Amino acid sequence: MCGIVGYVGRPGKTTGDHGALDVVLEGLRRLEYRGYDSAGVAVLGESGVESRKKAGKLVNLINELEANPLPESLTGIGHTRWATHGGPSDNNAHPHLADGGKLAMIHNGIIENFADLRQELLAAGYSFASETDTEVAAVLLGDIYAHAGGRDLATSMQLACQRLEGAFTLLAVHEDQPGVVVAARRNSPLVVGLGEGENFLGSDVSGFIDFTRRAVELGQDQIVTITPDHHAITDFYGNPAEGTEFHVDWDAAAAEKGGFDSFMEKEIFDQPAAVADTLLGRYDVDGRMTLDELRIDASDLAGISKIIVLACGTSAYAGSVAKYAIEHWCRIPVEVELSHEFRYRDPILDAGTLIVSISQSGETMDTLMAVRYAKEQGAKTLSICNTNGSTIPRESDAVLYTHAGPEIAVASTKAFLAQITATYVLGLYLAQLRGNLFSGQIKDILADLQDIPAKIQDVLDRADVIKELARSMPDATSVLFLGRHVGYPVAMEGALKLKEIAYIHAEGFAAGELKHGPIALIDDGQPVFVVVPSPRGRHSLHSKVVSNIQEVRARGAKTLVIAEAGDEAVRDYAEFVFHVPETPTLLMPLLATVPLQLFACELASVKGFDVDQPRNLAKSVTVE
Residues 210 and 278 in one domain: no
By CB atoms closer than 10 A (0-12, 13-18, 19+), residue 131 is middle
* Angle of CA points 184, 185, 187, to nearest 5°: 165
Find the mean pLDDT for residues 63-77.
Answer: 96
Residues 422 and 478 in one domain: no
pLDDT at 539: 67
Spatial separation of the C-alpha atoms in residues 520 and 504, rounded to whole Å:
19
Domain that holds residue 298: 257-454
Q: How confident is the model at residue 403 (pLDDT cuts 50, 70, 90)?
A: confident
Residues 261 and 210 in one domain: no
pLDDT at 389: 74
In a domain, 621, yes or no: no
Does residue 175 carry a pLDDT above 80?
yes
CA atoms within 13 A on the CB side of 153: 27
Is residue 138 within a helix (H) or strand (E), and if so which, with residue range? helix 133-147
Catalytic residue of the set 2, 161, 330, 601: 2
Residue 2 annotated among the catalytic residues of the structure? yes
Longest dimension (CA), the chain: 80
Residues 220 and 287 in one domain: no
In a domain, 134, yes or no: yes
Question: Domains in the chain: how many in total?
Answer: 3
Residues 449 and 469 in one domain: no
In a domain, 550, yes or no: yes
Residues 443 and 492 in one domain: no
Pick from 349, 348, 369: which is nearest to 359 by CA?
Answer: 369
421, 454, 487 — which closes off a domain? 454
pLDDT at 292: 67
Q: For residues 373 and 280, which has the higher predicted lDDT (pLDDT)?
A: 373
Query: Amino acid identity of 554?
Result: A
pLDDT at 16: 55
Angle between helices 414-434 and 589-606 (to 10 degrees): 170
249, 272, 294 — which closes off a domain? 249
41-56 per-position pLDDT tens digit? 999 988 899 999 999 9
Does residue 85 carry a pLDDT above 60?
yes
pLDDT at 15: 47
pLDDT at 255: 66
Is residue 506 within 8 Å of residue 522, measured between CB atoms? Answer: no
Pick from 146, 69, 157, 50: which is nearest to 107 by CA?
Answer: 157
CATH code, domain with 308? 3.40.50.10490
Q: For residues 255 and 153, which has the higher predicted lDDT (pLDDT)?
A: 153
Q: How confident is the model at residue 136 (pLDDT cuts 50, 70, 90)?
A: very high
Does residue 450 carry a pLDDT above 80?
yes
Residues 147 and 269 in one domain: no
Residues 73 and 200 in one domain: yes
CATH code, domain with 35? 3.60.20.10
Residues 205 and 271 in one domain: no
97-114 per-position pLDDT tens digit? 999 999 999 999 889 899
In a domain, 418, yes or no: yes
Q: What percent of the chain has pLDDT over 90?
A: 71
234-257 per-position pLDDT tens digit? 999 999 999 989 888 777 776 677
Residue 312 annotated among the catalytic residues of the structure? no
Q: How confident is the model at residue 78 (pLDDT cuts 50, 70, 90)?
A: very high
In a domain, 619, yes or no: no
Find the mean pLDDT for residues 408-428.
Answer: 96
In a domain, 624, yes or no: no
* Angle of CA points 540, 545, 550, to nearest 5°: 145
Spatial separation of the C-alpha atoms in residues 112 and 85, rounded to whole Å:
10
Sequence-distant (≥ 6) Cβ neighbours of residue 403 within 8 angstroms: 274, 277, 278, 280, 386, 418
Catalytic residue of the set 54, 414, 558, 619: 619
468-525 per-position pLDDT tens digit? 999 999 999 999 999 999 999 999 999 999 999 999 999 999 988 878 888 888 888 8
Residues 309 and 221 in one domain: no
By CB atoms closer than 10 A (0-12, 13-18, 19+), residue 47 is exposed
Find the mean pLDDT for residues 9-24.
Answer: 79
Spatial separation of the C-alpha atoms in residues 265 and 409, rounded to whole Å:
9
Spatial separation of the C-alpha atoms in residues 282 and 467, rounded to whole Å:
35
Q: How confident is the model at residue 294 (pLDDT cuts 50, 70, 90)?
A: confident
pTM of the model: 0.76
Q: How confident is the model at residue 14 (pLDDT cuts 50, 70, 90)?
A: very low
Cα dist from 47 to 174, 175, 176, 437, whole Å: 12, 8, 11, 71
Pick from 568, 542, 571: which is nearest to 559 by CA?
Answer: 571
Find the mean pLDDT for residues 345-369.
Answer: 92
Residues 237 and 290 in one domain: no
Find the mean pLDDT for residues 299-313.
Answer: 93
Sequence-distant (≥ 6) Cβ neighbours of residue 588 within 8 angstroms: 486, 487, 490, 533, 534, 564, 580
Q: For residues 448 and 545, which has the higher predicted lDDT (pLDDT)?
A: 448
95 upstream amide cis, omega within 30 of 0:
yes
Residues 446 and 466 in one domain: no
What is the chain's mean pLDDT, rounded?
92
Sign of the torsion angle spanned by Cα atoms 172, 9, 178, 45: negative
Q: How confident is the model at residue 284 (pLDDT cuts 50, 70, 90)?
A: confident
Q: How far apart are the first and last CA of the chain?
A: 12
214, 249, 284 — which closes off a domain? 249
